[in-house]
Each structure stands twice: as C-alpha cells, then as structure tokens.
Amino acid sequence: MTIKLTKRIVDAATIHDKDYLLWDAEVKGFGLRVYASGIKSYIIQYRNAAKRTRKLTLGQHGVLTPDEARKLARDKLMSVTHGDDPSAERQDFVQSPTVADLCDRFMDTHVERHCKPSTIKEYRRNIELFIKPAIGRMKAIEVVRKHISTLHAQHNAIPYQANRTLGVLSALFNKAEEWGLRPDGSNPCRHVKKYPEEKKERYLTRDEIAALLATLDERQAAGLENMFFVAGIKLLLFTGARLGEIQTAKWDYVRGNMMELPDSKTGKKRIYLGTAALEVLARLPRLEGNPHIIAGAKAGGYLTDFQKPWRRVRKAAGLDDVRIHDLRHTFASYAASSGESLHMTGKLLGHSQAQTTMRYAHLADAPMLEAAERVSQALAGMTNQPEQMKPKTNGSKQHPLRYRPVT
C-alpha cells in the first residue's frame, strides 16, 4: 500500500496478526513497518551496488516524526546513489568489537608474541588501569579524536603516564586498521599532542659514588643487605647496564671480560666488564642449581626485588633522590666527560640508535672545553713574556695568531 505517511496516518495504522508495510507516496523506498507486537518503525528499502535488495530500520515512530524520518530516508537513499550501503555499514557496526575486545586481541595476538616481558607488563597495565575503564565499552569503530584527547587530558597531572597511554592507544588503533576493523588512516590518536616531559638526568658526583660504595660495603658487612643485591648495584654502576640485564644475567653469559646477553631491550647485547666489575664477580659464590649471577631466595631464580633494599641504601647514603636507573646515567656521564666519543659511549651502553646517546653530548664537550681553556690561557700568557720569547712575525704586521684564510 502506498500513501503519504503523516502522523495521523501512522497513528491510525491498525495492528494485524502479521507484520506489514506501508510505503510513502512522496519518497520512493521510504516506508513504515507495522509489527504484530504493535511497534511501528520507519525503514528504507534499496538496491546496493551488487543489485541486492537491502532494508534498513531508521527508528521507531514516536522517537522520530514522519517528517524527520522522511528527511533521514532521503539522506540515506542519496548516499546509496554514491555507492554507499547503509545497511551493511549498520551491520558492520553492530558486529564490530568493543575497545575492550580489541585490547584483548591486541595483547593476545600481537603484544604477547612480539614484545619483551617488560613491555608486555607496561601495555597490560595501561590497558587495564586507563584504557578499558575510560572507553572499553565503546565500539572500536566509533572512537574519534575527542575521545582520545579527553582521556589524555584526564591525566595531565601525570604527563609521563598520559603520554605512555597515548602511545599504547596509537599502537592499538594502528592494529585495528591493519585487521580491517577501522578505515585506513583513521587512527584517532593522530594530532593529539603529547605533554612535555621533564627528562630526569641525575648523575652522581665522585663524593656521592664514594658514599654509595662505602654504604653498600658497610651494610653488607653488618648483615643488613644481601650480598647479591650489593653486587647487583655495583655491577649496574660499573657497567652501565640496565637493571633487568643484570638481574637476569647468568654465569654462562660471562666470556672473559665481557657478558654476551642472548636478549635485551635492543636484542643481543655485549656488556663489557672492567676490572672493578670483574672483581665483583670474583667475590660472588656460584650457587649449585642456580644459573643466575644475582641469585634470589627462590631455588634457581634471580633476585627480583631491588627497589626496597635500594630505598634503604640510598637513604643511608644521603642519596634520597637517586633512582637505580641513574647509575646507568652516571656511567654514561663519566664515559662522555672522560673523553670517550659519543659513538663509543653508545656502544658501551648498548644503544641501538645514535640519537639516544645524544643526551650526553654536552658532557662529551667537557674535556674539549678544558683543553681549549688550557690552550687559550697559554696563548694569552704570551703577552707577559719577554720580547725574545714572543713568536716571530717575520716582519709581517699581521698578528701571528690572527685568522688567515687558506688560499
């Protein structure tokens, strides 16, 4: 039956034992479905690009007026003429995963298989504490930039955490595109600007290093600290290695004056052992049945808790603001300031990218500045020397130290 759908006509439509349709006389393909249950819903019917007949429910009468439904029908049917398939799009939306579902797939099929244990732990923490509670119930397809920027802004008081969460979200939605769950180039994290982060570059002075080493020895001798913890801290300082690399190192990795790590944050890595580090290893016992250098209380395991004893030690040494990772910074700073090139410093630290080492560039300049100071002072002192000690000018009126272009 075809008739212009008005409020009076729709309200008067009777309920039958079976569903039936009333088609609008004004807009072809726009109609009203009257259900046996009494519900009346506006629909459109059209043929998609594959010439298949599709129906799409626009909404219930009462929520939409006939005029509102007719306008919506015109818009949808117009999109069909441009190649769209609104019914298929609706079905895709209904079947699309939630952000929580996407997170689970991301962890199971990507992160768990391709990332380091520390990265897996950090991704899971961000997802469970920050992402799922905020947008986990949303469909992955409906997340837009404002949702991401709002989530990011909620944690502006902790910029480091906000930026790490943004990084996880960006990787998450890149995978959604790769899996065909979102259109290409639709990552909602694009153009969400990270907060500035204050880089913590804490280096221990010579006096602080002496205080730390003395405190470690005193507390170990008094039975206040585990010998393996003390050895671990010293190895961190003497090698510039990362905490996880020293914690999990095994005796089998030691090859003369170096350690060959089969895996690290940057893949296979070689840690070079100076005399001080070798002496630390020489004083450590090898526990039967435990392959780890820094042995833990659990049989066959390594020492996992460094933070609690570290807080005790740094307080006793008067170094309350020093983190364990600052020992690595200290090693790097002494390497750079003692005249080692940035390339060499990066090799010692196991950096995979040169720009990572560039944070120590200003320290590498220190010996050069000291040399420049010595030379300039020596040259400046020549003005006070007797005439016969001054450089000869060979009759030239130009000062012997003045710049002359090479011809």
Residues 89 and 108 in one domain: no
Q: How far, rounded to the nearest angstrom, does the alpha carbon of residue 262 sit from its chain's CA centroid?
A: 24
72 pLDDT above the threshold of 80: yes
Task: For residue 367, tell me if it sits in a domain.
Answer: no
7 pLDDT above the threshold of 50: yes
Of residues 398 and 15, which shows the higher confidence score? Answer: 15
Q: Give the pLDDT mean for 329-333.
A: 82
Domain harbouring 125, CATH code:
1.10.150
Residues 43 and 164 in one domain: no
Task: For residue 371, tell me if it sits in a domain.
Answer: no
The pair of three-digit structure tokens given for residue 265, joined into one six-digit string: 């944050």
Domain end (from 94, 110, 125): 94
Residues 274 and 350 in one domain: yes
Q: Which domain holds residue 152?
A: 99-178
What pLDDT shows up at residue 386? 57
Residues 348 and 304 in one domain: yes
Residues 121 and 81 in one domain: no
Domain count, the chain: 3
Residues 115 and 43 in one domain: no
Residues 114 and 148 in one domain: yes
User: If residue 128 lies in a helix (H) or strand (E), which one and from where to where?
Assistant: none
3-state secondary structure 20-86: EEEECCCCCCEEEEECCCCCEEEEEEEECCCCCEEEEEEEEECCECHHHHHHHHHHHHHHHHCCCCH
Task: For residue 158, tell me if it sits in a domain.
Answer: yes
Domain harbouring 322, CATH code:
1.10.443.10
Residues 74 and 27 in one domain: yes
Mean pLDDT of the chain: 85
pLDDT band at 175 (very low <50, low <70, confident <90, very high): very high
What pLDDT shows up at residue 203? 81
Task: Give me Rg for the CA atoms of the chain.
Answer: 35
Q: How far apart are CA 377 and CA 361, in angstroms?
A: 25
Domain end (from 66, 94, 122): 94
Task: For residue 309, tell me if it sits in a domain.
Answer: yes
Task: For residue 140, tell me if it sits in a domain.
Answer: yes
The pair of three-digit structure tokens given for residue 360, joined into one six-digit string: 């120590």
Task: For residue 46, tell me if it sits in a domain.
Answer: yes
Q: How far apart are CA 256 and CA 277, in angstroms?
A: 12
Residues 248 and 128 in one domain: no
DSSP 388: G
Task: For residue 379, tell me if it sits in a domain.
Answer: no
What pLDDT shows up at residue 339? 61
Residues 146 and 52 in one domain: no
- % of the chain at pLDDT higher than 90: 58
| Nearest of 103, 80, 86 to residue 181 by alpha carbon | 103
Dump pLDDT digits (tens) for 363-405.
Answer: 555 555 666 777 777 777 776 555 555 555 554 444 443 434 4
* Cβ pair 324, 337 in contact under 8 A: no
pLDDT band at 343 (very low <50, low <70, confident <90, very high): low
* Cβ pair 59, 69 in contact under 8 A: yes
Residues 86 and 120 in one domain: no
Dump pLDDT digits (tens) for 140-160.
Answer: 999 999 999 999 999 999 999
Residues 210 and 354 in one domain: yes
What pLDDT shows up at residue 334? 75
Task: For residue 1, tell me if it sits in a domain.
Answer: no
Domain end (from 94, 128, 151): 94
**Helix-helix angle 159-178:117-126, to 10 degrees:** 100
Of residues 369 and 208, which shows the higher confidence score? Answer: 208
